[in-house]
Structure formats: C-alpha cells, structure tokens
Amino acid sequence: MNSKLIYAGLVSALLIAGCGNDDNDFNPGDRNNYPIINPNNPGPGQPQNPNPFAPAVTLDSGTLSSIRGAAGVPFAPGATVTDLDTSTLQNGTLTITGGSGLILTSPGTPDIGTVTGSGTNTLSVALNNNATLAAVQQFLRAVTLASAGTAAFGPNTVSVSLSDGTGQTSQTVTRNVSVVGVAALNLTVGQGGLTTIQQAVDQVAATDNGQGSTITIPAGTFNETVNISNDPDLAGLTLLGPNSSISAGVTPSTRGAEATFNRLNVDAPNVTLSGVTISEGVDAGIDEAAGILLRAGATNFTASNDRFIRTGAAGNFRGLINTIGTTNGNVTLRNNLFQGFATGVYLQGTSAANPATGSILSGNAFSGNNVGLSLDNVQNTQITGNGFRNQSIEQIGLLNPGNTVVASGNSFDTSSSLTVYTGTAADTGSLDARNNFFGTASGPADAGNNPRVNTSGTGTFNIQTTPFLTTNPFPSF
C-alpha cells in the first residue's frame, strides 16, 4: 500500500480526534489527548483517623445552603470532638477554613483560647486550659458561617482540623456549602408541570435572585439538548440525576436506572452536573459536536459520576469540549465514564501565553475512544487516578503543557501512546508523569511498542516517567 496514503489517513484521524488546536486550520503541532482522573475520593462520609491518639472531628453531613448576603448560621451544629488519650486540648489549635467569599465568626462563649481571624474565611484558636473536649465541641457547633455579597454562587467548602497540644493532629474534615440567591429554587422534572429539563432551567432563569438553584432529574430518557445560558440567575446551578452519589469512573459502583439526555451547553459559572448519562451527543457545527460544550462563561464547571457514551460512529464527536478561542478555567471532572468518542475530553486555552488553568481530572474512565484526553495550552492541571483502556490513537495528548501539569496514579494500557507536543521552538512541553502504570511492569517504552511516551515539536521538553508503578492500581478496569 502507498505509504503516503497511510500517513495521510493517520493524520486525518488525529485531526478529527482533536489533539491540538481544533479550529478550521488544523495545526499539526497541536496533538492533544490526556488521561484523566481517578482521585483518592473518600466519599461523602468523614474519614477515619489512622492515629488513634489524635483528636477526631466529625461534621454534619449533607450540603449547607448559604444565602449570599444573609446573616450567618451555625455551619456544623451537630459537630463532635473526641480524643482517646486526653480530655483537655491545651496548647493545641483549632483551625476552620472556608472557601473564597465565606465568612466565619466565632461565638462569644465558651472561652477556649485566643481567637484570630473571626469575621474572615480563616478562623483559628490557640487553645488554653479551658479547652476541654466538651468546650471545644460547643465552640465549634456555635461558629457561624455567612456568604459575602461577592461570594460566587454554587459549590464551596469549609474544612476543620484540630491538634491536641502533644503533636497529634486530626484528619481534616470538610462540609460542603452551596452559596445561593435569596430566591434559589429546588425543582424536580416531572413535577409542577415541568416535563423537560429545559423547562426547569428556564424557570430558574426567570426567577430574580435564583442563583444556586438545584434541579433534580429523575430516571428516564429526555430527548433534548439542555441550554444553560449566561443568565445571572443560572450561576451556581446544580443538575442532579438519580446516580449523583454513585461513581461511573474507573472504580464504578452499582448504579440504578439512569436519567439520559443528549447534550448540555453551558455558558454560566459554577454549574454542576452529577449522576446522569449523556448519550451520543449532538453535532452543533464545526468543532462543536459534543455531549457537553463549555462556552465562554462556563468557568468553574464540575461534572461528577456521569456517563458519556457514544454508540454511533465516533466521527468528530467529543464527550466534553470547550469552545475554540475560550479559556475555561477550573474545570473539575471526577468519577465519570467517557466511551466511544473521537476524544473523550478536550480542554484548551487560547494560547501558550493564555492557558487554561486549575483543572482537576480524577477517577475518570476513558474507554474505547480514538483519543482519551486532549489538553492544549494548559497549566496547573492535575490528572490523577484515571484509567485509560483501548484508545486507538492516543491515550493522552498534551500541547504546550506548562510545568505545573501532573499526571499521577493513572493506569494506561498498551493500546496507544501518550504524546507531548510543542507548537513552536519557543514553547515548552513539560509533564510530570511519575507514578503511573504504563501497562507493563517494565514501564513505558522509549520507542516502538506501546505504551510509548512521545515528544513532538521543536520546543523544549521535560518529561518525567520514573519512578513508575509496576502493578495496575485498577485491575478490574
């Protein structure tokens, strides 16, 4: 067979899969696919402290709704504090830290020590001899939380750690917080005359101060494309399917009946999608055939415990992609399945000088795609604990990854390579790929047989692959 035809066919397949700059004029230096996440996800419960002599703190379960600009409320009225080997925590420290825009205020009593940071998002107490276990617990239960008038709508967190003055420190525990508007709604599709997901989204958009609303989607098939526009009232919107607490990723749990729809377009900040199936995707024009399209306003987007499945021809469909020419920061993908696409996930900054930053991909499963993960012009990105299986072209493709891209704890098979590209001689391709399993106990191949870790381009490369894992961290995947 003519070798030029073989080469041309391979290049065509790569362009469709979307490694690199995915616009009308494809840049051959832009080859991007990357493996994404399987994090150490302890789940919704509080972790057990491995040190029996350290203090232990538990917080209330569930998500606390905090109305932006409203008076503070106790954030953990059911908190408990225990310590097996002491009843007084003198000389220890209680530290409570809230996310950006949260305000933590200490109670006037009991007096358990010197308080600093009350009225900010970080409150600390240097514990004195009044700090009995009961007094610290009473204090913690009375700390109030409020959201500043400038706090971002949507998910946030408060974390607590406690030391006992003898060098023993508790594990850090966390409570989820959702910052909402005064008129935030809780809607369920199929109730109140809402027959489609889009009708529920439109009702939130029509509600003044409806930010941080939640829409529950029951099991069933919804043959629709859902549009979350850049309406201020849709900031912080959460879409919850019936499997919102059940992983679909590299270590899946048993799921119930699915809520399935075709496509989601997002143009609002702090949107969360959890526990649904995105089926097939919809072709919305060049470079926008996808299950999820993130538009310019879609910063801080989160998808967790979702299934992205395409059974038709891969074509140029992506499971998730952001719009060409936009830089969507802080995209979080946890415990999802991406299967059957040209590219499972394709995230891109506008250029090496204007990268997409702060993305976290953890616990995801990439199976049977042409390319698992493509990342163009990214920095400060974590790719941890994901599984890659049967990608036909690339498992991960990275164009101009900055020196803060870390891929660790992932499992790759021998189906295809990982490749780092640079677009120009001035670009840098840097990847910390230590502590991954590369399909065999001998680690990645230098050339020839898969799995390979390749470099391509005229820039400067700094790729680290040793030490590597010699056994598969996800043997059942």
Annotate 414-457 with DSSP letters as a single string: SSSEEEEE-SSTT-EEEEE--S-B-SSTT--BSSSSSSBEEEES
Q: What is the DSSP letter of 170?
A: P
- pLDDT band for 166, please (50, 70, 90 cuts): confident
* Percent of residues in the chain assigned helix, strand, coil, to nearest 5: 10, 40, 55
The enclosing H or E element of 405 equals: strand 405-408
pLDDT given at position 447: 63
Query: CA nearest 287: which of 6, 25, 5?
Result: 25
Q: Is the whole-model pTM more than 0.75? A: yes
User: Is the pLDDT assigned to residue 470 strictly greater than 70?
Assistant: yes
Query: Please, where are the H alpha helices in 35-77?
Result: none
Q: 272 and 163 in one domain?
A: no
Q: 30 and 115 in one domain?
A: no
Dihedrals phi, psi of 15, to nearest 5 degrees:
-65, -40
73: Cβ–Cβ under 8 A, 6 or more apart, which residues? 64, 66, 144, 145, 146
Rounded mean pLDDT of 223-250? Answer: 97
Residue 403 domain-assigned? yes
Distance CA(369)–CA(371), nearest Å, equals 5
User: Is the pLDDT assigned to residue 266 strictly greater than 70?
Assistant: yes
Query: 118 vs 448, which has greater pLDDT?
Result: 118
By the 8 A CB rule, do 295 and 278 touch? Answer: no
User: Is the pLDDT assigned to residue 362 strictly greater than 50?
Assistant: yes
Query: CA nearest 215: which of 245, 239, 233, 249?
Result: 239
pLDDT given at position 50: 62
User: Is the pLDDT assigned to residue 394 strictly greater than 60?
Assistant: yes
- Per-residue pLDDT of 62-100, as tens digits, reads 999 999 999 999 999 999 999 998 889 999 999 999 999
Residue 215 domain-assigned? no
pLDDT given at position 38: 34
Say whether 234 sits in a helix, a strand or coil.
helix
Q: What is the DSSP letter of 120?
A: B
Rounded mean pLDDT of 188-195? Answer: 97
pLDDT given at position 449: 60
Residues in the chain: 477
Q: 173 and 29 in one domain?
A: no
What is the pLDDT of the chain when averaged over all its residues? Answer: 89
Residue 235 domain-assigned? no
The proportion of the chain whose per-residue pLDDT surpasses 90, expressed as a percent, equals: 81
For residue 115, what are the domain limits?
56-180
Q: 148 and 73 in one domain?
A: yes
Residue 235's beta-bridge partner residues? none
pLDDT given at position 202: 98
Residue 423 domain-assigned? yes
User: Is the pLDDT assigned to residue 42 strictly greater than 80?
Assistant: no
Rounded mean pLDDT of 357-369? Answer: 97
Q: 153 and 256 in one domain?
A: no
pLDDT given at position 445: 82
Least confident piece of the model among 256-260, 285-289, 303-307: 285-289
Residue 186 domain-assigned? no
Residue after which a domain boundary falls, among 145, 180, 215: 180
Distance CA(106)–CA(124), nearest Å, equals 9
Number of domains in the chain: 2
Q: 278 and 138 in one domain?
A: no
Distance CA(428)–CA(379), nearest Å, equals 11
Residue 114's beta-bridge partner residues? 126
Residue 232 domain-assigned? no
Rounded mean pLDDT of 134-141? Answer: 97
User: Is the pLDDT assigned to residue 402 strictly greater than 90?
Assistant: no
Q: 453 and 305 in one domain?
A: yes
- Per-residue pLDDT of 330-353, as tens digits, reads 999 999 999 999 999 999 999 888
Least confident piece of the model among 347-351, 385-389, 434-438: 347-351
Residue after which a domain boundary falls, among 180, 197, 220: 180
- Per-residue pLDDT of 13-31, as tens digits, reads 444 444 443 333 323 333 3
Q: 84 and 24 in one domain?
A: no
Q: 393 and 341 in one domain?
A: yes
pLDDT given at position 270: 96
Q: 258 and 163 in one domain?
A: no
- pLDDT band for 287, please (50, 70, 90 cuts): confident
pLDDT given at position 386: 98
Query: 102 vs 50, which has greater pLDDT?
Result: 102
- Per-residue pLDDT of 302-311, as tens digits, reads 999 999 999 9
Least confident piece of the model among 35-44, 278-287, 315-324: 35-44
Residue 434 domain-assigned? yes
Q: 346 and 319 in one domain?
A: yes
Cα separations (Å) of 147 from 8, 75, 105?
A: 56, 11, 11
CATH number, domain containing residue 125 = 2.60.40
pLDDT given at position 448: 60
Residue 51 domain-assigned? no
Q: 157 and 72 in one domain?
A: yes
pLDDT given at position 73: 97
Residue after which a domain boundary falls, among 160, 180, 200: 180
User: Is the pLDDT assigned to residue 178 strictly greater than 60?
Assistant: yes
- Per-residue pLDDT of 195-235, as tens digits, reads 999 999 999 999 999 999 999 999 999 999 999 999 999 99
